[in-house]
Structure 1
Amino acid sequence: MPEYTVLTVASIVLVVLLELCVLRTGIFRSGVYWISMGIVMGFQVLVDGWLTKLSDPIVLYEASMTTGLRVPWDIPVEDFGFGFSMVTLTMMLWLRARPRPGDRSPQEEP
């Protein structure tokens, strides 16, 4: 069983469900979010491509744990899923934790 693939898909589903059902930050409707993800993925291609290149890998993957699909430059496709989940979850939690208009800071309490 390709465990890395299963865990990648599970992380994507959980992050999307967390946004749609619990946090509701509206992040998926934000152009800034999608631009940010494009920037993140661009740098991920550079770094991950260097780390996972089949000609001289620094990071090795057990072939039975992935789909074997590698794009571009030998990057396992699962890495992009985990990157999406990690960055999106961080951004959603950051948005949720920020003060909202009308919130009072602890210094303003009577």
Structure 2
Amino acid sequence: MLDSEPFLGVGEYTLLTVLAVVAVVVLELAWLRTGVFRTAQYWITMAIVFAFQVAVDGWLTKLDNPIVIYNERQMTGLRLPWDIPVEDFGFGFAMVTFAILLWRHRLDQGSSAPESTAARRSRQTVPRGRPRSTPFPEPTAPEQPAPKPEEARTRP
């Protein structure tokens, strides 16, 4: 949709940005529930991301000599600061937040995650009761040398 008409009076870039932001927020609040929105760490991270986004995006989208040119019909036209389309901030929020949510969710699964099929299979026994071999067997203690047989005692 390179030069399509706005959908319901809303530009494609604006619509997709709003959908991405809503989807990420709903993903966190309704399903993942990692709690990142309640941490100062997350908001400090986002402030750092937005600071770099302003510097880079401002340079790329400046109206007097743009490197990236947007189709004005596909966005709101609201640009701040330094001619940055407001949709870029929503898209950046959604993209970075999505990555953080997936990472945090994966870390949180660590010890409470259900056991994988491969892990269950490695514990199962084969017929005759022998344990299955695993790609990384647990280390065993080195074998102790066998005791030397006592020399036969002779009776005097």
The verdict on a shared fold, with TM-score over 0.5 as the criterion, is yes
4+ aligned runs moved over 3 Å, structure 1: 99-106
- What amino acid is the match of 1:43? F
Give the equivalent residue in structure 2 for 1:77: 86
**What SS does the corresponding residue of 1:67 show, helix, strand or coil?**
coil
**What SS does the corresponding residue of 1:55 show, helix, strand or coil?**
coil
Q: CA 1:99 to 1:6, structure 2 compared with 1: closer, same or farther past 3 Å?
A: closer
Q: Write the distance in 1 (CA, Å) between the matches of 2:17 and 2:111.
A: 38
Q: Write the distance in 2 (CA, Å) between the matches of 1:4 and 1:102.
A: 40
Task: Answer 1 or 2: which has greater helix percent.
Answer: 1
Unaligned runs of 5+ in 2: 1-5, 124-156
Query: How many residues were matched structurally?
Result: 108
Q: CA RMSD in A?
A: 1.8
Give the equivalent residue in structure 2 for 1:36: 45
Aligned residue runs from structure 1 range 20-99, under 5 A: 20-98=29-107
Unaligned runs of 5+ in 1: none
**What SS does the corresponding residue of 2:79 show, helix, strand or coil?**
coil
Larger Rg: 2
- Residue 102 of structure 1 and its aligned partner are, at CA, apart by 3.7
Bigger RCO of structures 1 and 2 (CA < 8 A, at least 6 apart): 1
TM-score by length of 2: 0.65
